[in-house]
Structure formats: C-alpha cells, structure tokens
Copies of this chain bind each other. A is one copy, B any other.
C-alpha cells in the first residue's frame, strides 16, 4: 500500500463527480477546459484508489471514500490478540498489601482478580492508592473487598479490533482491559482471562507504526 497526495485537479474532479454523478470523462474535461487525454492519468488514479467508480457507457460515480478513512483502515485491521500482554492475576483472598507488592514487582497498572479461575474483578493503582489512605488495615483486608467487581468490568475479545478496545479504554477511563474467552457452564457465562490490553500496548503500537 502507498499513500499519495492528490493534486488540485484531482480534488476538483472529485468535487465535480460528487455533484454531477454519473458524469462522463468528456463532460468532466469540458468543465475543466482540458482534453480527455490530460484527464486520463487523473481518472486512472481516482478509480484505482477506489474514490471514483467507473461504469462503462454510463460514467463516473463517487464511491464515498475520502481522506478521513485511510489511516483508519490500517488501524482497524489489527486485532487485540496481536498486541495484548500477559495478564497479572491474583485471587480475591490476596491482601491489599500483597496486591500492591505484586503491582510493583510486575510493574503493571492493573491486576485482574479471579475466583475459581474465572475473572471476578479488577484492581487498579487508583483503587489501591485510595485504600491505603482510607484507614483500613491493608495487611488484613482482602483485595476482593476493594476491587471493581463483575459485571462492572469492561472486557475485550481477542478478535476485537484494536480500535474497538482503545475506544473502550478511553470511554470508560481505565488504564487497561482484560482480554477474555467466554466459557459456558450450566447456561452461565464465565470469563477466562487470556490477556491484557493497556494504554502502553497502544503507545508501543504507535511507535512501531512510526517505524522507530
């Protein structure tokens, strides 16, 4: 794939086709006061890019592709499973103190909490900080008491596009979201945590796309 910058005449052609579709190359040429031969490479590029659609004996149509959905296409094609990290998991019984220690040792911004192997909650740096100044005994209180509990957790699927996951992170103002696989038991859904997608993953992808 390559990016090209359209020239002024090509931009004008797009405007003309948008307004007068279907329109023949002769009609476009006469509106621009140029010959059909002059227009040929412009029309070739505009149809190759998918901006214009050409139908034999009818003319050119505007296909609805514009500048704004270029980068978008590339970014939307990547999947959560391609960039997710390994999740850090603890059980509900872990003390708040040990959760804090784990957070420092693993250097993550959030820890996912499980019950019987399935996701039951999420605890963030913010949750832990709040609990340390709240006057509770962090050596006794289990993390299960201060975590955000299911179903109030935003989840990602490994096959989601990265753009969907990032949108969830932004909209719900969280640092990361657990990537889960759903298991069905007795008609109830359980979530197995298989990954973690964070703002750091996004920033890394950004650096990668910049080719650095």
Q: Which residues of A contact B (CB under 8 A)?
A: 1-6, 40-41, 44-45, 48-51, 65, 67-76, 97, 100, 103-104, 107, 125-126, 128-130, 132-133, 138, 162-163, 166-167, 169-170, 173, 199-200, 202-204, 206-207, 209-212
Contacts and interface: CB of A to CB of B under 8 A. Distances in A.
Contacts of A72: 209-211
Given A4-B45, A4-B50, A97-B133, 12 more contacts: A1-B4, A2-B49, A3-B49, A44-B44, A75-B206, A103-B129, A104-B126, A129-B132, A132-B133, A162-B206, A163-B207, A203-B203
A199 B209 contact: no
B4 A173 contact: no
Interface majority SS (helix, strand, loop, mixed), chain A? helix
Contact of A133 (B48, B75, B100): B100
Contacts of A97: 133
Given A107-B173, A132-B132, A203 B166 contact: yes
A51 B2 contact: yes
Contacts of A74: 3, 71
Given A4-B48, A72-B210, A203 B169 contact: yes
A206 B166 contact: yes
Copies of this subunit: 2
A48 B45 CA distance: 10
Most buried by B among A2, A48, A209: A2
B2 A211 contact: no
Contacts of A75: 206, 209-210
Given A100-B129, A100-B133, A210 B163 contact: yes
A211 B69 contact: yes
Closest 9 CB pairs of A and B: A199-B199, A132-B132, A163-B210, A72-B211, A2-B49, A41-B44, A125-B125, A4-B49, A3-B70
